[in-house]
Structure 1
């Protein structure tokens, strides 16, 4: 049950965020906007980590660090920057559904690299995502 609540909160936050992003990008270039966003997030995370004691006894395996750093570079830097450019030059109602098709990539890569199963439900779900992208492009 907890996972569904967090998933719904994710949908709420990620659904509202593009509206703020689109409004902020009206007078900012995407790179500067992403820099401001990243600085704000970093400051909040650093303060929270220090105040909560989450950084005590910090021990991180190199492999884990590299995977998380790579994920951050792909999602929070490159993906977000491309998303900001798309959002700046198009309608949020078109950009968000298309950029939200990332599960197609995740399903394929999870099958290839994580050896996750490709069930009939996942297959038809990805087909519906593709159909949704085709419909929203118009």
Structure 2
């Protein structure tokens, strides 16, 4: 049973991510815009992380100012941008399609890592990128059910969530060379909060936060699919292989799809299900263990 616990924790964390739409749509219905919802999420998450940090990780608070640009990358270019794109997509189309478009991130990571981190491009990565492209075409370009209300802007914003999520892997990988995971997470959310609070204009709707439902949804968004999900996933990740964790994490779109079907009466066409399968299989393929065959050599060998 102990051997299975890390896998369970990874699946648990990913399942919590899959339920994020419940909080996003709840706050949207209460009158908040997508950018304001992002500000609410990073603010509550920052407060929870600060409390946890003071209680257990005070030795991880110190950073060098010279490394601050890394957190500008993770906090603004990734977390703020990716959350806005993702939350907007959730409110523009089916929850399941929104999370599937988010899962295009491994394809973006493969390409960006090759360009900026000089990582090798292998056959599996190329197959995964091609599979992701085919999946996106099936999900959106061959749509036959107009009730899914897929638009070009919705597609582009959905792909933007995948790109933003991928950028976290790029900036985060560099940041983790210098700091512990908790430090990277804490300052990522703090930077995002400091940036978004004045820009989002959320304080202009201060009266909304007198509504207990807004506070409940906001605190829930910052705690359940953010802080708790992160710690559960990270705890499991520390005790298993990252490739296995990435495959197990594909439970997220399954949970999101079930939520859309049960709570919001959403439906997908056979073609859209096929496209979603292509994207999820691409995530699995890119993380399959085993001997890798290089397709293109590293640009710089160190």
Same fold (TM over 0.5): yes
Q: For 1:112, what is the secondary structure of its paired residue?
A: helix
Q: Which residue of 1 aligns with 2:199?
A: none
> Of the candidates 82, 94, 102, which is equivalent to residue 91 of structure 1?
94
Q: Which residue of 2 aligns with 1:36?
A: 40
Q: For 2:27, what is the secondary structure of its paired residue?
A: helix
Q: Which residue of 1 aligns with 2:63?
A: 60
Number of corresponding residues: 136
**What is the deviation of 1:136?**
1.6
**What is the deviation of 1:127?**
1.2
Q: Which residue of 2 aligns with 1:135?
A: 138
User: How far apart are the structure 2 equivalents of 1:91 and 1:63?
Assistant: 42
What TM-score do the two structures reach when normalised by structure 2?
0.41
Where do 5+ consecutive residues of structure 2 fail to align?
A: 144-302
Q: For 2:59, what is the secondary structure of its paired residue?
A: coil
> Which is bigger in relative contact order (C-alpha 8 A, separation at least 6)?
2
Q: For 2:120, what is the secondary structure of its paired residue?
A: coil
> Of the candidates 74, 77, 83, which is equivalent to residue 74 of structure 1?
77
**What is the deviation of 1:58?**
4.1
Q: CA separation of 1:46/1:59 partners in 2, compared to 1, >3 Å: closer, same or farther?
A: closer
Q: For 1:56, what is the secondary structure of its paired residue?
A: helix
Question: Between Structure 1 and Structure 2, whose CA radius of gyration is higher?
Answer: 2
What TM-score do the two structures reach when normalised by structure 1?
0.82
Q: What is the Cα-based RMSD across aligned positions, in Å?
A: 2.4
The structure with the greater share of residues assigned to helix is 1
User: How far apart are the structure 2 equivalents of 1:16 and 1:57?
Assistant: 30
Which stretches of structure 1, 4 residues or longer, exceed 4 Å deviation after superposition? none
Residue 14 of structure 2 corresponds to residue 15 of structure 1: no
